[in-house]
Amino acid sequence: MKKILPTFLILFVSVLSLSGCQTKGEKVIPVTGTITQNGQPLANVRLEFSKIDTGAMSFGETDTEGHFTLIHTHGKPGAEPGKYRVSVFQKGKPIPLPANKKPQDIPEEERNQTTPDIPVTNSDKSPIVIEITESSQNNIVIDIK
Per-residue pLDDT of the chain (145 residues; tens, 9 = 90+): 445 445 444 444 444 444 434 445 678 999 999 999 888 999 989 999 999 999 999 999 999 999 999 999 989 999 999 999 999 998 776 767 777 777 777 777 776 666 667 788 888 888 899 999 987 678 899 998 8
Residue 19, domain member (yes or no) = no
Identify the domain containing residue 126 by its residue range.
4-14+26-144
CATH code: domain of residue 87: 2.60.40.1120
- b/e per residue 101-130 (b: at least 16 CB within 10 A): eeeeeeeeeeeeeeeeeeebeeeeeeebeb
- b/e per residue 7-27 (b: at least 16 CB within 10 A): eeeeeebeebeeeeeebeeee
Residue 21, domain member (yes or no) = no
